[in-house]
Structure 1
Amino acid sequence: MTDYETRRLENIKRNQALINELGINKVKQETSTKRPPPKKRKLSPSTSRPTRVSARIATTERPIYNDEPSISNKASSRSSRKNGAKKEQSVVADAVETEAQSPPADLEDIRKGWTAWESVAPPPTRDEDGTFHFDEHPTFLPNKSPAEMLAEGAFGGSYYRPLYSKSLRTTVEDDWKELPGEWLKDLNVERYLTSSSYDPEVNKFKVRCGQSIEEWEVAGWIAHAYDVRGWFQWYTRFWQGRRCDDDDRQIGRWERCVGERGRWRRMLLKKYLQAGVKTVADEGVDEEEVSPVMHQTCHQWAWEVRQPSLDEAWAGQ
């Protein structure tokens, strides 16, 4: 090598030794591999907890009156909405609020329909077991008349209280006056029919059960053109000879509740079997032995346990 190349290599070695001595290479490597910590994201006010609630939840009250015989409330709601739907939700809520300011245009026609009907069918017959029979509906076999249900105590005494219908946006009251006078004889109307609050002590079995007419409306079970108060009001009119297009639906509901294969009937008879009860008088059994809630539920669907039904249940064991 030439003198120049020799001096160059010596200078490189000397410089490298100096770099190693000062630790410059190590610092450079650490600096190049170390990453800055991530920046914390600030939450904007728009990501805070929403303050609006759905229009349905905001306008649904928890009423006192119980009607639908349900042991558990199945009306609970599980809903999740995307952020992009908030604006649309607000518009819908405002529209509902605006619409609720006035009743439907055909309200007067609906009201007239509640009382414009005529009796076209004879009263039911009753067999020796206490079961009622309607000629044109052989599967509808209640064993409690509307008058018996009211006299013994049902619906917490508040079935005919003034009722605000959110679907019709009007208050319905005094429709109890259409009931036959003999049904109301010796009956305290204020306590057994029009009480503003639900009183379990009025009920035959001294317990609370069921859902409210307001909940029936939300569930879509009320046919307002026929019976704004629901099943029992339909039963009182059907008993008196009215026939309408809603009969099959209401009878179907009765069958599913306390008909031969009805869920409440089967559940109550099962309670009898579990308690070992084999005999029952027409007036019922001791509440201590069999569920009073089940008894009240079936009572409000115009049915109670009679000996033939109980015998049949035991025979099926």
Structure 2
Amino acid sequence: MADFTARRRNNIKQNELLLDQIRPLTTDIEPQPEPNTKSKSIKRKADPSRAPTRQSKRIATAGARPVYNDDQQIVTHTPRRKAKIGRATNTKRAPSSNPDPESDAEPAKNAEAIVAGWTAWTPEAEEPTRDDAGTFHFESHPDFRPNKSPEEIIREGSFGGSYWRPLFSKRLRITVRDDWRELPASWTAGLDVDTYLTSTAYSPEVNKYGVACGQSIEEWEAAGWIAHEYDVRGWFQWYCRFWMGRRCADDERQISRWKKCVGETGRWRRTLLKKYVALGIRSVFADDEDDDVGDTCHHWAYEVRQEALERFWAEGR
């Protein structure tokens, strides 16, 4: 029995020695969960679907951005502060893709025919009529109902007076100038042409809304929104010619763009009306300065009328 007890004690000591040798191995294996936790953390940070939970006040209060193309994609737009008259720093340069384009550019092969087509048309329709609410009606297109005439848009300084400046077309590789002269003389009578039509700098101080917004014609051309065979300057030139009686194959596209922007359910018309409601405004002001959304609608021959504002307050449309 004493011999058994001695062997038992010896076995216990041997087992304790073995356990001391085994424990370090067990300790290395057990911390496995820590690397897994770090892995999950890394994966969570890299997950692009997680939206930020904080937003700067500037971003949260930024106005909506204008849309110019048919597919309703957002375009880059940075609202400016209202210009202070007499300060040259508050004018923006009208972009030019080539300071002296005629020196190293050759006209596209079909440019001559395209240019000839711009003036070859003859009026097919009468000027629109205007109802008591100020809306214009075109007999050929009853669903096109702007409430600003081209003359009003020009005289109220839209496009900062630079819309009709000399324009170099990258597509046609020619410089277009003096095409404003096709406008009826009454539209520009008494205006300083250099200030309201052909200014090389966008001048917010001549703009009714006191802002500079939107993209340049060169950017519209680069984006593919210009139908060169009809109007090298885009929407507003189309509107001027449509008003003067021209009808062409681009009419439906341009009217569709107008509807998406400022028609009954147009994005920018609704944005402007929502802005009035959000501010608790029930009466339309004569001049809404510092309003880039209003200026965008103005580009598209629309401004808010009292009737439309009252209906939006009542019906939300």
Compute the TM-score of the two structures, normalised by the length of structure 1.
0.67
- Match among 92, 104, 108 for residue 108 of structure 2: 104
Are 1:120 and 1:241, in contact at CA under 8 Å, matched by a contact in 2?
A: yes
- Match among 264, 270, 273 for residue 266 of structure 1: 270
What residue in structure 2 maps to residue 296 of structure 1?
Answer: 295
Confirm whether residue 226 of structure 1 aligns to residue 225 of structure 2.
Answer: no
- Match among 173, 190, 193 for residue 189 of structure 1: 193
Counterpart of 1:153, as a letter, is G
Identity of aligned residues (%): 60
Shift of 1:139: 1.3
Larger Rg: 1
- Match among 198, 202, 222 for residue 198 of structure 1: 202
Shift of 1:67: 11
What residue in structure 2 maps to residue 216 of structure 1?
Answer: 220
Deviations 1:111-152 (A, max 9, x none): 110111000101101000000000121111100000011111
Counterpart of 2:187, as a letter, is W
Deviations 1:255-306 (A, max 9, x none): 000011110000000000001111125x34x43xxx6111111111100000
- Cα RMSD of the aligned pairs, angstroms, is 2.0
Name the SS for the 2:308 alignment partner.
helix
Shift of 1:219: 1.1
Aligned residues: 222
What residue in structure 2 maps to residue 26 of structure 1?
Answer: none
What residue in structure 2 maps to residue 73 of structure 1?
Answer: 76
Are 2:260 and 2:266, in contact at CA under 8 Å, matched by a contact in 1?
A: yes
Distance, in Å, in 2 between the alignment partners of 1:280 and 1:227 is 34
- Match among 152, 164, 169 for residue 168 of structure 2: 164
Confirm whether residue 179 of structure 1 aligns to residue 187 of structure 2.
Answer: no
Confirm whether residue 254 of structure 1 aligns to residue 258 of structure 2.
Answer: yes
| Alignment CA distance shift 1:216-1:72 (3 Å) | closer
Distance, in Å, in 2 between the alignment partners of 1:190 and 1:215 is 22
Are 2:108 and 2:172, in contact at CA under 8 Å, matched by a contact in 1?
A: yes
Shift of 1:207: 0.2
Shift of 1:68: 5.0
Q: Which runs of 5+ in 2 are unaligned?
A: 1-65, 78-103
Shift of 1:102: 2.5
Name the SS for the 2:202 alignment partner.
coil
Are 2:225 and 2:234, in contact at CA under 8 Å, matched by a contact in 1?
A: yes
Deviations 1:157-192 (A, max 9, x none): 100000000000110001011110000111111100
What residue in structure 2 maps to residue 128 of structure 1?
Answer: 132
